[in-house]
Amino acid sequence: MSAGISLDRWGRRALGAAAGLALDRLAGEPPVPGPLHPVAVFGAGVSALERRIYRDGHAAGALLAGAGVGAAAAAGAALRSPTAATYLSTAGRGLHDAALDVAAALDRGDLDDARDRLRSLVGRDPDHLDEAAIARAAVESVAENTTDAIVAPALWAVAAGPVGALVHRAGDTLDSMVGYRDARYRRFGTASARLDDALAWVPARVTAGLVALARPRRAAAVARLVRADARHHPSPNAGVAEAAFAAALDLRLGGGENRYGEVVERRPALGRGRRPGRADVRAAVALSRDLSWLLAGLLAAGGVAAVRVGRGAATTATATARCEDARA
């Protein structure tokens, strides 16, 4: 009985996650004013708590991360719906629209507008980036955030229901707010950065697998490049997604200098192809979009199968128990 119930629960979560992904693709962000968006409300709460407890140390940062995760878990438990939690935690449509805005500005030759629009995609300083560097940053952001904004929320909704989806979104948001290596956050942001790394570790590898499925002719190249180059990236997860996208699109990502305020990172090259151009931003968006629908389809199919098997197992177990009671 318990196995059947467990499969049925997993199947319902998978169906809910698939529906949430589809809602994000079709409807985009929830139709609420920006300050009332759940992520904006969460971010405002994190900022308020940070102002109260900030200390230049690991313990205070761990307290912030724990409070954020606790609040997200409570919200997920109250929400109860895997569909709603996945929809609220997913931002694929917004990611793609933002990247396409950058591509449109590049098409017009308006580098100032492209730099301004890039700010919504990346944490690096875009002020002195030329066209090629803007295109590279946009493609890298689409690749990395395909894990964070599409794959991870859905997988966590399947693994742990609404609580899992919202806890992942909380970890990702905390990392984007305090997970920096500058003087203020080097110690205070450590817990949030490590939490985000842990929550995205499996989803990043699933992202690489989905890239290979979405572009089967490049699947072997994706596998080779992820094995060879991903480990050289400073992030244990972003490098996997970026290497997969580089191989699928036959690009060479990384290999440049990224400035984050006072911190400068020199990234290794990922891939053996050409340097990204404006057209490659749209190609990266198309790949990410295809991956989103592919994941939704796989989750829906797996969910239907699990629900059927689970219900069948539960029915069989119930009938067996009744027969045993009758014989007794």
What is the rounded average pLDDT of the residues 114-131?
A: 90
Mean pLDDT of the chain: 91
**pLDDT tens for each residue of 11-38:** 999 999 999 999 999 999 888 877 888 8
**pLDDT tens for each residue of 244-270:** 999 999 999 987 777 666 666 777 899
With bands split at pLDDT 50, 70 and 90, how would you rate the model's confidence at 125? confident
Kindly tell me if the per-residue pLDDT of 285 is higher than 90. Answer: yes
Three-class secondary structure assignment of the chain:
CHHHHHHHHHHHHHHHHHHHHHHHHHHCCCCCCHHHCHHHHHHHHHHHHHHHHCCCCHHHHHHHHHHHHHHHHHHHHHHCCHHHHHHHHCCHHHHHHHHHHHHHHHHHCCHHHHHHHHCCCCCCCCCCCCHHHHHHHHHHHHHHHHHHHHHHHHHHHHHHHHHHHHHHHHHHHHHHHHCCCCCCCCCCCHHHHHHHHHHHHHHHHHHHHHHHHHCHHHHHHHHHHHHHHHHHCCCCCHHHHHHHHHHHHCECEECCEEEECCEEEECCEECCCECCCHHHHHHHHHHHHHHHHHHHHHHHHHHHHHHHHHHHHHHHHHHHHHHHHHHC
pTM for the whole structure: 0.91
With bands split at pLDDT 50, 70 and 90, how would you rate the model's confidence at 4? low
Kindly tell me if the per-residue pLDDT of 308 is higher than 60. Answer: yes
